[in-house]
């Protein structure tokens, strides 16, 4: 059985009618906009701290956790330890947290440091506004932060209106729910001020039985909306699954809000299927983020007092486009490594067939010996290429639809299949137009000169001294001066992000750490002036504002063409 799913607008209409009978369950993703790191963010920090302390190396060596090379180095270190959890496993967060900070007091201090100074986001204030209107009665959360309580204090203009229950005092939540004293917040893993913080493997397994029972019983009285929660904790997911068994679970529905086009965790998918098979109205709802969703939901409630939401909107810092750089000797505060995408494809080809996921779709193209670019989404197989080649690749899978697909702007705001397809097409177009070799990676595509001796690379050679060679004392490991590129969305448009970096050929698990050290030595002294020269060179090389560049250079079918602006993004100091 496939995962039941409904569109976000359908969910909003249902919420408008049922909101008093729907509870919320919030995970870390709901607090991300407030600046509190998610479990995934903290997992990488735990790996970083273990690496630095056990390898006895400088923190600066692995300071940039957004760098794929750094993450690869950290994960290689974790993989070398026999007792470490696998990446993405359910107990990865809890196991690493306990390994880094065995003492409960230290774990509490760590959590305190992460939530210090955090303020409610728009989503929290919108949720509190719904609480005050009686449109939300119960909020469950696995988070330690006080953001829901702080939002309620603002909206209610006081702190005595919200009942908060935690593992230390579960009876407060039980009595409040049974007696109908709304609103109620139940912190399943403890409050950040609590003596017990349920965040390690053993502690999670000993989740307070009273809170679990209250959760199960409540899910048989109300429906549930889940937001920002990955389904990582077995104790919570087991309770939700128990409530879904039988015909009485989630009488107002079970709605799991999920970001992006990817599939939810297996536990989540199984829960939704199980609930649907039991006769519950259960569905996955794909959203952009927690704040945007709450904004849409509050708009559906015409009688809300939105005073605090309006204040929040006025207090938000407003940004204006920075002017283009002048030639009068004044420099911007920041020069960014982003070039604007002036034109991009608005349509691609779509076909429906029985092929599996993205890897199977790419394998089908390879087996047919055709040069096409494809992405696999719920809507179908999206692609660029000659029509005959597209049909030939997927003919064995029974093509039932072959048409044009409009690439919607909203699909480009996050890491969707459409954006992934455009990234692949743009990287191919840059390779064609600029004479660059292309190596595709999961997080970024790597480009470096095909012919380093060509005159067009003289400016780069003068800046860095050498464009490639063999890494000393490491057989079969070659390096090249190049860039990593990816697409991102900001200021209501697409941007090409490019990062000067060392590209390696011949990396193995054995030489990965040495390659990272070599790359760091090559780039560590590229300070502002040197880096500015590199950015200027690559910006000129990649830009194509006067002409389009295309991915496949074909005259039939659907190709992907782009125009890239010549000026990188700039930031200027605001006027007083």
What confidence tens digit (pLDDT) does each residue in 19-38 have? 999 999 999 889 988 888 88
Q: Name the 3-class secondary structure at 206.
A: coil
Q: Where in the chain is the domain with CATH 3.40.50.1220?
A: 5-35+120-312
Q: What is the DSSP string of 236-264?
A: HHHHHHHHHSSTTS-TT-EEEEEESSSPP
Q: Name the 3-class secondary structure at 199.
A: coil
Q: What is the largest distance, in Å, between two alpha-carbon atoms of the chain?
A: 80
E strand or H helix at 185, and its extent?
strand 184-187
Distances (CA, A) of 469 to 127, 247, 448, 465: 57, 67, 13, 12
Q: What does the radius of gyration of the chain's CA atoms come to, in whole angstroms?
A: 26
DSSP state of 94: H
Partners of 189 in the β-ladder: none
| Contact in structure between 203 and 233 (CB atoms under 8 Å) | no
Q: Which of 524-560 are b and which e, b meaning 16 or more Cβ less than 10 Å from the residue's Cβ? A: eeeeeeeeebbbebbbebbbbeeebbbbbebeebbbb
Secondary structure (H, E, C), 294-317? HHHHHHCCCCCCCHHHHHHHHHCC
* Confidence (pLDDT) at 165: 85
Q: Name the 3-class secondary structure at 107.
A: helix
Domain 5-35+120-312 has CATH 3.30.9.10: no
pLDDT, one tens digit for every residue, the chain (576 residues): 788 999 888 999 999 999 999 999 999 889 988 888 888 888 999 999 999 999 988 888 888 887 777 888 899 999 988 788 888 787 788 889 989 999 888 988 888 888 887 889 999 999 999 999 999 999 999 998 899 999 999 999 888 889 988 777 677 777 888 888 999 999 887 654 444 556 665 654 555 677 788 899 999 999 999 999 988 778 889 999 999 987 789 999 999 999 876 788 899 999 999 999 999 999 999 998 899 899 989 988 878 887 778 777 655 555 555 555 555 555 556 778 899 999 999 999 999 999 998 889 999 999 999 999 999 988 899 999 999 999 999 999 999 999 999 998 888 887 788 999 999 999 999 999 999 999 987 667 999 999 999 999 999 999 999 999 999 988 889 999 999 999 988 878 899 999 999 999 998 888 888 888 898 888 888 888 888 899 999 999 999 867 899 999 998 999 999 999 988 887 665 544
Q: What is the DSSP string of 460-491?
A: HHHHHS-SEEEPTT-TT-EEEEEEEEEEEEET
* Confidence (pLDDT) at 193: 47
Task: Report d(CA 152, CA 160) in Å as an integer.
Answer: 9
Q: Is the pTM of this model over 0.85?
A: no
Task: Report d(CA 287, CA 282) in Å as an integer.
Answer: 16
Alpha helices in 122-183 (DSSP H): 122-132, 147-156, 170-179
Cβ neighbours for 531, distance < 8 A, ≥ 6 positions apart:
500
Q: Name the 3-class secondary structure at 451.
A: coil
Provide long-range contacts, Cβ within 8 A and 24+ apart, for 60-63.
61/520
Task: Report d(CA 430, CA 450) in Å as an integer.
Answer: 12
Q: Name the 3-class secondary structure at 382.
A: strand
Provide long-range contacts, Cβ within 8 A and 24+ apart, for 328-333.
332/570, 332/571, 332/572, 333/571, 333/572, 333/573
DSSP state of 198: -
């Amino acid at each position: 059985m496939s995962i039941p799913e409904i569109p976000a607008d359908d969910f909003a209409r249902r919420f408008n009618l049922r909101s008093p009978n729907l509870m919320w369950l919030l995970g870390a993703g709901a607090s991300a906009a407030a600046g509190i790191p998610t479990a995934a963010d903290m997992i990488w920090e735990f790996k970083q701290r273990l690496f630095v302390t056990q390898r006895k190396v400088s923190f600066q060596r692995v300071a940039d956790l957004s760098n794929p090379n750094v993450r690869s180095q950290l994960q290689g270190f974790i993989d070398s330890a026999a007792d470490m959890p696998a990446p993405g496993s359910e107990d990865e967060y809890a196991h690493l947290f306990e390994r880094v900070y065995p003492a409960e007091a230290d774990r509490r201090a760590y959590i305190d440091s992460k939530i210090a100074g955090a303020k409610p986001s728009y989503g929290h204030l919108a949720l509190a506004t719904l609480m005050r209107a009686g449109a939300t009665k119960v909020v469950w959360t696995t988070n330690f932060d006080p953001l829901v309580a702080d939002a309620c204090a603002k909206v209610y203009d006081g702190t005595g209106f919200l009942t908060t229950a935690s593992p230390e005092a579960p009876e407060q939540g039980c009595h409040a729910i049974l007696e109908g004293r709304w609103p109620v917040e139940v912190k399943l893993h403890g409050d950040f001020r609590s003596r017990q913080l349920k965040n390690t493997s053993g502690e999670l397994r000993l989740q307070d039985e009273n809170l679990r029972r209250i959760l199960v019983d409540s899910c048989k009285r109300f429906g549930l909306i889940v937001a920002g929660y990955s389904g990582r904790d077995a104790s919570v997911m087991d309770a939700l699954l128990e409530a879904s068994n039988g015909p009485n679970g989630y009488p107002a529905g079970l709605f799991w809000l999920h970001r992006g086009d990817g599939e939810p965790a297996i536990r989540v998918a199984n829960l939704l299927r199980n609930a649907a098979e039991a006769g519950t109205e259960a569905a996955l709802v794909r959203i952009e983020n927690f704040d945007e969703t709450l904004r849409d939901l509050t708009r559906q409630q015409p009688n809300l007092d939105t005073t605090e939401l309006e204040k929040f909107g006025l207090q938000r810092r407003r940004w204006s486009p920075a002017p283009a750089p002048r030639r009068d000797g004044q420099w911007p505060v920041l020069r960014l490594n982003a070039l604007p995408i002036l034109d991009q494809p608005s349509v691609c080809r779509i076909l429906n067939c029985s092929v599996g996921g993205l890897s199977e779709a790419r394998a089908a193209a390879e087996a047919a010996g055709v040069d096409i670019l494809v992405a696999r989404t719920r809507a179908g197989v999206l692609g660029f290429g000659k029509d005959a080649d597209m049909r030939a690749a997927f003919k064995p899978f029974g093509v039932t639809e072959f048409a044009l697909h409009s690439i919607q702007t909203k699909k480009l705001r996050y890491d969707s299949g459409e954006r992934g397809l455009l990234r692949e097409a743009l990287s191919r177009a840059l390779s064609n137009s600029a004479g660059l070799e292309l190596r595709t990676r999961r997080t970024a595509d790597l480009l470096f000169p095909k012919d380093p001796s060509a005159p067009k690379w003289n400016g780069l050679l003068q800046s860095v001294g050498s464009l490639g060679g063999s890494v000393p004392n490491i057989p079969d490991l070659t390096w090249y001066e190049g860039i990593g590129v990816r697409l991102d969305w900001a200021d209501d448009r697409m941007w090409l992000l490019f990062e000067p970096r060392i590209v390696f050929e011949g990396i193995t698990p054995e030489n990965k750490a040495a390659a990272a050290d070599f790359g760091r030595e090559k780039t560590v002294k590229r300070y502002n002036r040197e880096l500015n020269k590199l950015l200027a060179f690559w910006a000129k090389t990649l830009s194509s504002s006067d002409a389009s560049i295309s991915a496949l250079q074909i005259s039939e079918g659907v190709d992907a063409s782009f125009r890239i602006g010549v000026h990188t993004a700039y930031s200027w100091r605001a006027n007083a």
